[in-house]
Amino acid sequence: MKGSFSKPVRMVMVTNIPAPYRLPVYALLAQESDIDLHVIYCSGREPDREWDLEQAQFAHTYLNQSFVRFRGRFIHVNHDVWSVLLSLKPDIVVTTGFNPTHLMAYAWTRVHGARHVAMTDGTFESELKLTTLHRRIRRHVYKHTAAFIGASDGAMRLYGSYGIDAGNTFRSHLCADNARFFNAEPQEKRYDFIFCGRFEAIKNPFFALNVARDVARKLGRRVSIVFVGSGGLENDIRAYAKTVEAEVETAFSGFAKQEALPAWYGASRIFLFPTQWDPWGVVANEACAAGVPVFVSDVAGSAGELVRDGENGFVMQLDFERWVDAAIKLLTDDALYAAMSARGRELVGEYNYDNAALGIAQAVRHADRAFLPWSTYKSKAHPKVAIIQRRMTQYRLPLFNLMREKLDAAGVELIVVSGDPLPSEKLKADTGELPWGTHVPCRYWLKGKLCWQNAMPVALNANLVVVTQENKLLFNYVRPLLKKDRKWAFWGHGRNFQSTSPNSVSERFKRWLSRHVDWWFAYTELSRDAVVESGFPRERITVLNNAIDTAELAQQIESINPAEAEQIRRDFGIGPGPIGLSLASLHADKRLDFLIDAAHRIRAQVPDFQLVIVGDGPQRDLVRKAVKKAGGWIHWLGTQTGRDKARVLSMSRLMLNPGMVGLSVVDSLVAGVPMVTTAYPHHSPEIAYLHSGQNGLMTDDDVESFVAGVVRLLKASNELERLQAGCRESAPAYTIEKMAAHFCNGILDCLSAEEKETPRSRTSRKTAASERV
């Protein structure tokens, strides 16, 4: 296998501010070898934040600060996000909200064909009061989003409420620096309670102070509480604290840096988190990591998930009496306190930076590989190759499965599209189903002479589109509608080997069209020669050596002993003489009338000769009549697959096909059963595998010559044995494994190749060369 694609996907995270609990996550994400991270911040720090920010260990950009304050929130409107994205040219953009800046970043992905990933700390409950307009905006964005990241179970419920498939959602917990708390020095428990957060109404600090007051009254002793943080309500809280100082000793730490937090939590017995609304609450993580039981209101995102009622704290509605009773219970039961403290440390363990970074990385990788019908995104880290098949046949399934495995190992995603067979093709009973493939229906006109298969959604996602070379496939003509950087390749015979008019308008058009692709996947060397003759560069052609999966067939034939072969004869009523096997679809190109006529003539010279026909198709009635007329030496077995096919091959002396030879020649080589055919002018390209006199026999194109060749081989055992040995020597060159390897290597070559040179590019190149001179 040739080289692989290992370029990192360019990812940009557009977020409001550099929150300290996310900085380590981004630093870890930046270390992923397949992700090139850049973070865009709408603001350096909002005015009500006093975080002490560490030096970022990843690429980042601060936009020109521009926001409006509305109902206590900051609405970021950074118009320069567009120009920054243009300079970064990301493959994937992650937005963490729905501020105008986030929506502009989302719009950029739609205009420039990048993938969008939505990320939220919000929950289903936190967004219940959104307006209809807000919901409509979210529905529109989510409709064109490749992956979804949430911090909690509530976020997963939120995405589910919009109909998002769970397979497209990923979890990135909000978390604290657990190690800092786990490794902190033990502290004397100086405070009964701790409140940590911004001093604003939604955080409910007065509720916490009132809980402490009522606990003191019920316990009959003075209790203590420490307020860690700052905010607009600080003076009001201090004033109120003085009114209850006889019952509550209140301390204020002011804003505390991250490294100081473990000491404050460690000095406290119970963390009060009576928020009126909070998507999560990283302060709960900090308390759990410090071994401090948490009392949390049921509207916080961490409630019921990180903080579990009765395990590491209590989840309650904002009911003073319940909070007070729970506090008294915990303050007076040392065993319960110790159990909750230990359980908190245990539960918070999985809420760590590594897991948070992994969740984002998984979402980005999923988005990069996702098939999205509306997308025009082309991944440079994981290129996509789309192979369009009008119909799927059974013998192609192993090829595509092998190719998918090989290309995935090379960092390339394979998408296989298949449609529907014509009614006449259904009679062949050879339709296959690829479980991981994509079905795009076919519409036929003019009795199958024209076919429309709208694979455009797939083509929009692909770096390379491979289509079969057939004039009737109208989708082959949509290439001008695609961006020029999407490569287009033909897979086919090179010309119509069955055409009786090689210079007809349709054939001349096919030759012209053959030159207007970026790459060619030729069935065989004969196909390659035909494409070269049309004027296409030889160096842009990959010879596949079209094949089928023969490994299992070879094993099955090897395992069949003479006794089983004789039993097959008895099962089908086949006489004891040498068998000539016709293994082919029953249609006109196989020249069944020629075969039946020749069989009667062979029988006249080899009296015990048996003709066995395996296959199905529109000319089955012709075969039925021949069987009836022969009276017992012509046998039609219908379609045979798997071991049944191997059993028939194992008892046959020769394969007979006076008409069009295709992939059945591979069966001949693997089974060691030489094929006899004629110099029929319309063979498929696989006829290149048959070397007359070495591994098979090609006679003149008349019944007499064909019969003479067959009879000679049936009577001359030395010559037959030599051809049988030649079959076995040739077989290893034409395997499905080698075909898959050729195909995958050709795909990698095509993806790596420079754009096809055009007359205009040649002129530009010459001009540039003259300027250099």
Phi, psi at 717, each rounded to 5°:
-65, -35
Task: Please report whether residue 258 resides in a domain.
Answer: yes
404 and 477 belong to one structural domain: yes
What's the Cα-to-Cα distance from 696 to each of 331, 603, 670, 709, rounded to whole Å?
A: 93, 21, 12, 11
Three state DSSP letters for 651-705: CCCEEECCCCCCCHHHHHHHHCCCEEEECCCCCCHHHHHCCECCCEEEECCCHHH
- pLDDT of 581 reads 97
Listed residues 492, 523, 543: the one ending a domain: 543
Amino acid at site 676: V
Average pLDDT over residues 222-230: 97
Residue 557 half-sphere exposure, CB side, CA atoms within 13 Å?
21
Task: Please report whether residue 134 resides in a domain.
Answer: yes
Average pLDDT over residues 559-577: 87
Sheet holding 610-614, edge to edge: 634-638, 610-614, 579-583, 654-656, 675-678, 696-699
Q: Convert the pLDDT of each residue in 271-301 to its tens digit.
A: 999 999 888 999 999 999 999 999 999 999 9
Dihedral (CA of 482, 483, 489, 494) sign:
positive
Task: Please report whether residue 752 resides in a domain.
Answer: no
Angle at 661 between CA 659 and CA 667, to 5 degrees: 130
Listed residues 543, 559, 594: the one ending a domain: 543
600 and 638 belong to one structural domain: yes
Task: Please report whether residue 1 resides in a domain.
Answer: no
418 and 483 belong to one structural domain: yes
Residue 160 and residue 54: Cα distance in Å, rounded?
36
Task: Please report whether residue 372 resides in a domain.
Answer: no
Strand spans (E) along 219-371 = 223-228, 248-254, 268-273, 294-297, 313-316
281 and 217 belong to one structural domain: yes
Higher per-residue pLDDT: 223 or 526: 223
What residues have CB less than 8 Å from 635, skipping those under 6 apart? Answer: 572, 573, 574, 610, 611, 612, 613, 627
Supply the range of the domain harboring residue 92. Answer: 9-175+355-367
Task: Please report whether residue 375 resides in a domain.
Answer: no
Residue 187 and residue 182: Cα distance in Å, rounded?
13
What's the Cα-to-Cα distance from 699 to each of 421, 658, 690, 691, 731, rounded to whole Å?
A: 34, 9, 12, 12, 22
151 and 196 belong to one structural domain: no
- pLDDT of 32 reads 94
pLDDT band at residue 762 using 50, 70 and 90 as cut-offs: very low
- Judged by DSSP in three states, 311 sits in coil
290 and 396 belong to one structural domain: no
Please answer whether residues 385 and 462 qualify as being in contact, where contact means their C-beta atoms are separated by less than 8 angstroms. Answer: yes
Residue 516 half-sphere exposure, CB side, CA atoms within 13 Å?
11
- pLDDT of 489 reads 95
512 and 448 belong to one structural domain: yes
What residues have CB less than 8 Å from 322, skipping those under 6 apart? Answer: 316
Q: What residue has token string 């053959």? A: 514
Number of compact structural domains in the chain? 4
Residue 233 and residue 13: Cα distance in Å, rounded?
33
What's the Cα-to-Cα distance from 159 to each of 122, 278, 376, 415, rounded to whole Å?
A: 10, 18, 24, 27
324 and 444 belong to one structural domain: no
Is the pLDDT at 52 greater than 70? The verdict is no
Q: What is the CATH number of the domain that holds 45?
A: 3.40.50.2000
- Judged by DSSP in three states, 198 sits in coil
Average pLDDT over residues 467-472: 88
Q: Convert the pLDDT of each residue in 234-252 to its tens digit.
A: 999 999 999 999 999 999 9
Token pair listed for 670: 């693997």
Residue 306 and residue 318: Cα distance in Å, rounded?
19
Residue 331 and residue 272: Cα distance in Å, rounded?
13
52 and 192 belong to one structural domain: no
Q: What residue has token string 């397949």? A: 34
- pLDDT of 432 reads 86
Q: Convert the pLDDT of each residue in 716-730 to its tens digit.
A: 889 999 999 999 999
228 and 340 belong to one structural domain: yes
Average pLDDT over residues 439-451: 91
Task: Please report whether residue 748 resides in a domain.
Answer: no
Average pLDDT over residues 64-92: 87
Average pLDDT over residues 160-187: 95
Sort 488 into a burial class: Cβ within 10 Å, 0-12 / 13-18 / 19+.
Answer: buried
Average pLDDT over residues 699-713: 96
Is the pLDDT at 768 greater than 70? The verdict is no
417 and 529 belong to one structural domain: yes
Q: Convert the pLDDT of each residue in 102-149 to its tens digit.
A: 999 999 999 988 999 999 998 888 888 889 999 999 999 999 999 999
pLDDT band at residue 51 using 50, 70 and 90 as cut-offs: very low
Average pLDDT over residues 452-473: 90
